[in-house]
Amino acid sequence: MTSKTHKNPGQIALFLFIALFLLSFLIIPVVKVFYVAFIDVNSGSLTLINFKDFFNTSLFIESFNNSFYVATMSVLLATLISLPLAYFTTRFEFKGAIIIQSLGFVPLIMPPFVGAVAMQLLFGSNGSINLLMDEYFGFTIPFMEGLNGVIFVQSLHYFPFILINLSASLNNIDRSMEESAQNLGSSGMRLFRRIVFPLAMPGYVAGASLVFIKVFDDLGTPLLLNVNNMLAPQAYLRISSIGIDDPMGYVIAVILVIFSLFAMWIASLALKGKDYSTVQKGGGGLAKRKMRPFERIVAYFIVILILLTVLSPHFGLTLLSFGTIWSYSVLPDGFTPDHYVEIFAETPEFMMNTLLYASLAATIDIILGTSIAYLVLRTKIRFRYWLDYAAMAALAVPGLVLGIGYLRTFLGASIPFGDAPLATWWVMLVIALSIRRLPYALRACTSALQQVSRSLEEAAENLGANKAKTIQRIVLPLMSGGLLAGFVTSFATAAVELSATIMLVSTESDAPLAYGIYVFMQSAAGRGPGAALGMVAVLIVGLGTYFSHRIIEKGRRERSIENNNQK
């Protein structure tokens, strides 16, 4: 087989097409923005002096340290949240495991602005919790103050990345791994620390690095909590100041991207050669142990406590969307369905646009993700890994940078068959969303393809199916679970994306939900309707996620039945 490295023209065409796509919609726009960072404002010549200024400015160094601290602490807190959820639901017979896994996903789809407002109303210094505590215990806890507030909100928001990856890893550990350790006298936390966690490490590192990068790059949360001394807000504040073109904003953006790439590189080093998927042929898989009554009470208590905390923003959002006035009080003054009536009467196009954009973007992601995964894993084209690297690098590009880059790159060109600028065409919004979410889908597609044994493909080819037919009839059906997972992640997160959107929306009729929420949240009277719109977004995406989980679970169960029969 190895001698037959013939070049398949179809594969090369696919490679070139994807390379061109990434070049035009990711690399060139980003480079156009970054260029500014290397320009001397006084002379207009290329220079590195701006970077020297960055490292000489104590505010920036402080901001860098703060961002690093917040990202690290958020990973720790997110780990504390995800570990019990992942462990209990994958290693024990746990009623409602699917619901917990789905609910654990919901925080990712917190729409911008409304989430932070809801959190302030619940956890703020004069929020419900603190008002109650002050009344009954005479003290308050500064959940939302300063860097701690950012850490709190970020870990509640991003922990699903760890939960999802860790659960998948835990599911891939063969039960004999644990049993042999028990047999040799290990149990409890020691067993977990020495055997289970190291084996789940690859999944954990993948999730944790994602959380780290997202938190490090995230702009919305620190901005809404009015924490300015972090890198992303510093970049944003400088790029968007009125009438001023401070190159430092762009310098910070470059540093953000470089540091994120660095973090990704470290993570990939840590993961190298550690493919610990230990599930043996013929199933085996996870042993779901029954819990003793006492254990069960403790476990449910912990899980419910965590779920209450992580879902509290949504709880707050619900109150906000039905509340009349909510100000300096434990609960809103009254409840009304008016906000929902208002949004359904006025803004149905936001919902339609969101569904359209997010599903288109997720579809593009799945197609690109599968293609890249296939090229990387199944062909011998040179430079094929660069597609993977480039696509993953999108993770490190802040949405604002991508948005500005699109404006700079595509304004000169016009929409096909029209005269409006290309950059303001709604299709560009879809492409920006798909580039932003491509890394999620790509990872899902890659791991799905990795799980399809080559021999299954070879069997099909041996029976007379050509490459295309094999992919269509064997590979894709077997990947379907992973593809669906990738689609859902891309779809759900694209549906609430704001940062790239806000630069690219050029007409209100083209605007998605996140933009609609933003618009509502800019006025005092818009808070209720904005929250209602946020609830609609959460419901749409949440239901989609739940049903996809059901489908994935069903598929897994069917496959495991087949396996058992084969045994």
**Contact between 404 and another protein per CB under 8 A:** yes
In terms of CB distance, is 226 or 453 closer to another protein? 226
**Contact between 1 and another protein per CB under 8 A:** no
* String of DSSP letters for 107-151: GGGPPTTHHHHHHHHHHSTTSHHHHHHHHHTS----TTSHHHHHH
Please give the Cα distance from 110 to 117 (Å, whole number). 11
**Contact between 126 and another protein per CB under 8 A:** yes
Among 187, 336, 466, 560, binds another protein (CB under 8 A): 187
Contacts of 137 (CB under 8 A, 6+ apart): none
* String of DSSP letters for 192-209: IIIIIHHHHHHHHHHHHH
CB of 13 to another protein, least distance (A): 26
Task: Look up residue 331 and give its DSSP letter.
Answer: S
**Contact between 168 and another protein per CB under 8 A:** no
CB of 408 to another protein, least distance (A): 7
**Quick one: tokens of 275?**
């493919």
Among 355, 367, 377, 551, binds another protein (CB under 8 A): 355
CB of 274 to another protein, least distance (A): 7
**Contact between 231 and another protein per CB under 8 A:** no
Among 35, 38, 68, 276, binds another protein (CB under 8 A): 276
Q: Amino acid identity, residue 178?
A: E
**Contact between 185 and another protein per CB under 8 A:** yes
Please give the Cα distance from 358 to 57 (Å, whole number). 40
Residue pair 480/472 in contact by the 8 Å Cβ criterion: no
Please give the Cα distance from 244 to 435 (Å, whole number). 29
In terms of CB distance, is 485 or 519 closer to another protein? 519
In terms of CB distance, is 359 or 563 closer to another protein? 359
Cα–chain center distance at 501: 16
410 conformational bin, left if phi > 0, alpha if psi -120 to 50, beta if neither: alpha
**Contact between 356 and another protein per CB under 8 A:** yes
| Total length of the chain | 567
Per CB under 8 A, contacts with another protein among 406-425 are 407-408, 411-412, 414-415, 417-421, 423-424
**Quick one: tokens of 463?**
């029976």
Among 12, 13, 20, 41, binds another protein (CB under 8 A): 41
CB of 320 to another protein, least distance (A): 9
CB of 3 to another protein, least distance (A): 27
CB of 98 to another protein, least distance (A): 19
Per CB under 8 A, contacts with another protein among 504-533 are 505-509, 515, 518-527
Per CB under 8 A, contacts with another protein among 297-336 are 324-329
Please give the Cα distance from 44 to 48 (Å, whole number). 12
CB of 135 to another protein, least distance (A): 10
CB atoms within 10 A of CB 462: 9
**Contact between 283 and another protein per CB under 8 A:** no
Site string for another protein, 45-64 (x = CB under 8 A): ----xx--xx-xxxx-----
Of the candidate spans 155-163, 194-202, 448-456, 463-471, the one that interacts with another protein by CB under 8 A turns out to be 194-202
Please give the Cα distance from 400 to 220 (Å, whole number). 11
Sign of CA dihedral 92, 94, 97, 100: negative
Residue pair 490/103 in contact by the 8 Å Cβ criterion: no
Among 263, 438, 449, 503, binds another protein (CB under 8 A): 503
**98, burial (CB in 10 Å: exposed 0-12, middle 13-18, buried 19+):** middle
Residue pair 528/323 in contact by the 8 Å Cβ criterion: yes
**Contact between 291 and another protein per CB under 8 A:** no
**Quick one: tokens of 465?**
């199916």
**Contact between 567 and another protein per CB under 8 A:** yes
Size, binding site for another protein by CB under 8 A: 106
